[in-house]
């Protein structure tokens, strides 16, 4: 249920509602709009009498939210959320581009890539230090050493860093070095991890599971918001279909559909979405045309030597070309 307060409801009236919600055994989440405050009532599904809230001072109405996701829904918050990452905004008029290698492999590779993507116009850096690989024999990432290299790349370029966290225990370590916590596709339904990052103040980039529905993605985001962290960016990264020519099938539909259901920013990962470098740029452009608030793109100076995902990584000059084209599409649809 959500409770919509009247325009001009006083602070005391809002506090009275919150006290009552908590007394009834629920949690209150406030959304302050430009005109009125909306209060989300979150808790188990015990029957409650909405009318008892509707007669309280300052309340305009109560609304039963039928979708299973509440705090991430447009019912709870109509206007777009803006997630700020060191001065870069996701969810506002700009289309933010995150770029970098799949994995941090060594200092030279990471620093070279970082400078190249910055030069090309990227606003944030990516690079995995903890890698979820299909095979236990594949490169698993450099761990803390990789995080240190990422931090050096951030210092040299001024670009904020996005990196994956794989377990709740890694939170203290990873947050020492990163600006954004990435939850990978394979961990989208790792509920303990979602709750842990929900208690952090760091922005979270939540990737869609390769076999997850949009509702499941939104329910995972709900876990994070329910713990108090509202800085969540959703990421479509391709799903499994019967098609085998490409690694995954980029679900472009997900972009406008998610934007209609949730106020959270939605970005696209064309690299994992299509899985072959020569198709990354057209898919990226389609994502922007469809309304994505950003892109996350894999770039490597020597893709043929990459320790992971070389086949879908763009050379820096190809990434620069993608940015140029992205700019043209963004401008055409009134974005920056």
Residues 205 and 162 sit within 8 Å (Cβ to Cβ):
yes
CA atoms within 13 A on the CB side of 30: 14
Which pair of tokens denotes residue 161?
Answer: 């860093």
Residues 271 and 322 sit within 8 Å (Cβ to Cβ):
no
d(CA 224, CA 199): 8
Residue 254 DSSP SS3: helix
* Beta strand residue intervals within 56-145, DSSP E: 59-63, 83-85, 88-90, 96-100, 124-126
Q: Which stretch binds ligand PEP (CB under 6 A): 12-20, 108-116, 173-181, 184-192?
A: 184-192
Q: Please say which residue, 12 or 134, places its beta carbon nearer to ligand PEP.
A: 134
Closest distance to ligand PEP from the beta carbon of 208 (Å): 8
Q: Read off φ and ψ for residue 9, nearest 5 degrees.
A: -60, 140
Q: Which stretch binds ligand PEP (CB under 6 A): 58-66, 73-81, 85-93, 179-187?
A: 179-187
Closest distance to ligand PEP from the beta carbon of 132 (Å): 6
Would you count residue 184 as binding ligand PEP (CB under 6 A)?
yes
303 binding partner (options Mn ion, ligand PEP, none; Cβ < 5 to 8 Å by kind): none
Q: Read off φ and ψ for residue 291, nearest 5 degrees.
A: 110, 15
Closest distance to ligand PEP from the beta carbon of 3 (Å): 37
Would you count residue 306 as binding ligand PEP (CB under 6 A)?
no
Q: Please say which residue, 102 or 233, places its beta carbon nearer to ligand PEP.
A: 102
Q: Please say which residue, 222 or 309, places its beta carbon nearer to ligand PEP.
A: 309
* Contacting positions for Mn ion (CB under 5 A): 102, 309
Of 132-151, binders to ligand PEP (CB under 6 A) are 132
Would you count residue 326 as binding ligand PEP (CB under 6 A)?
no
What are the residues whose beta carbons fall under 8 Å from the beta carbon of 106, sequence distance 6 or more? 142, 149
Would you count residue 99 as binding ligand PEP (CB under 6 A)?
no
Q: Which residues bind ligand PEP (CB under 6 A)?
A: 102, 128, 132, 184-186, 207, 237, 272
């Amino acid at each position: 249920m959500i409770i919509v307060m009247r325009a001009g409801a006083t602070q005391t009236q809002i506090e009275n509602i919150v006290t009552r919600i908590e007394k009834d055994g629920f949690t209150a989440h406030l959304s302050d709009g430009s005109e009125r405050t909306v209060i989300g009532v979150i808790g188990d599904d015990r029957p409650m009498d909405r009318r008892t809230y509707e007669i309280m001072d300052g309340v305009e109405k109560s609304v039963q939210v039928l979708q299973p996701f509440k705090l991430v829904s447009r019912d709870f918050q109509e206007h777009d959320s803006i997630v700020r990452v060191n001065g870069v905004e996701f969810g506002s008029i700009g289309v933010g581009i995150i770029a970098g290698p799949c994995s941090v492999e060594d200092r030279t590779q990471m620093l070279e890539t970082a400078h190249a993507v910055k030069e090309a116009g990227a606003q944030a850096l990516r690079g995995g230090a903890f890698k979820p690989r299909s095979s236990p024999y594949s490169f698993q990432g450099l761990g803390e050493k990789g995080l240190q290299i990422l931090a050096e790349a951030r210092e040299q370029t001024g670009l904020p860093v996005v990196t994956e966290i794989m377990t709740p225990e890694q939170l203290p370590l990873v947050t020492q070095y990163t600006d954004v916590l990435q939850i990978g596709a394979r961990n989208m339904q790792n509920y303990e991890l979602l709750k842990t990052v929900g208690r952090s103040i760091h922005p979270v980039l939540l990737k869609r599971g390769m076999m997850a529905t949009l509702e499941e993605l939104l329910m995972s985001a709900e876990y994070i918001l329910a713990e108090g962290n509202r800085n969540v960016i959703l990421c479509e990264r391709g799903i499994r279909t019967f098609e085998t020519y490409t690694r995954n099938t980029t679900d472009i539909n997900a972009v406008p559909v998610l934007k209609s259901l949730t106020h959270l920013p939605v970005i696209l990962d064309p690299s994992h979405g299509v899985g072959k470098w020569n198709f990354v740029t057209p898919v990226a452009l389609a994502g922007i045309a469809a309304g994505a608030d950003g892109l996350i793109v894999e770039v490597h100076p020597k893709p043929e030597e990459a320790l992971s995902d070389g086949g879908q990584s763009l050379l820096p000059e190809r990434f620069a070309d993608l940015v140029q084209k992205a700019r043209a599409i963004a401008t055409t649809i009134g974005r920056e």
